[in-house]
Structure 1
Amino acid sequence: MIELRSRQGDTVDLICRRAYGRETAETVAAALDTNPGLAALGPILPVGTVVRLPDPPSAPPRRAVVRLWD
């Protein structure tokens, strides 16, 4: 579990990007599920709001590379 405090102008998307290096619909949804009532604070979080995030999602499996020409 990761815990971060919001900074001035932070949104849930920005916090997910800072913690995971990217934000996706899944990471934002996981953050909102982990923090009941977080969405009620508005799109821009109050400074100092503690946001708990689940452990980073695992990387998607790599696909095999297809080469059309050698």
Structure 2
Amino acid sequence: MIYKTQQSQLLDEILWMVFGSSSDAMLASVYNANPGLADYGPILPGGLAITLPDGLGAAPPATNQAVRLWD
């Protein structure tokens, strides 16, 4: 997946927005998939295309679950 940054975003923030979590392993995977990304520092410029590797985050929980109030 390709993600385009907005001005002054942090990579950790992007991972939270896209995958709902962030870890050192996830950050390392993104840096490995994007040589030179670390050269930008912690605050990324706007319009930067970042490759987010497949399988990086867990699937989001299902929100369409039926709830029974009475049996």
TM-score by length of 2: 0.72
> 2:22 maps to which residue?
23
Question: Is 2:37 aligned against 1:38?
Answer: yes
RMSD: 1.5
- Identity percentage of aligned residues: 34
Flag as ranges the 4+ runs of structure 1 deviating above 3 A. none
Q: Provide the secondary structure at the position in 2 that maps to 1:4.
A: strand
TM-score by length of 1: 0.73
Tell me if structure 2 keeps the 8 A contact 1:6–1:48. yes
Q: Provide the secondary structure at the position in 1 that maps to 2:50.
A: strand
| Structure 1: unaligned runs, 5 residues or longer | 60-70
Number of residue equivalences:
58
| Structure 2: unaligned runs, 5 residues or longer | 59-71
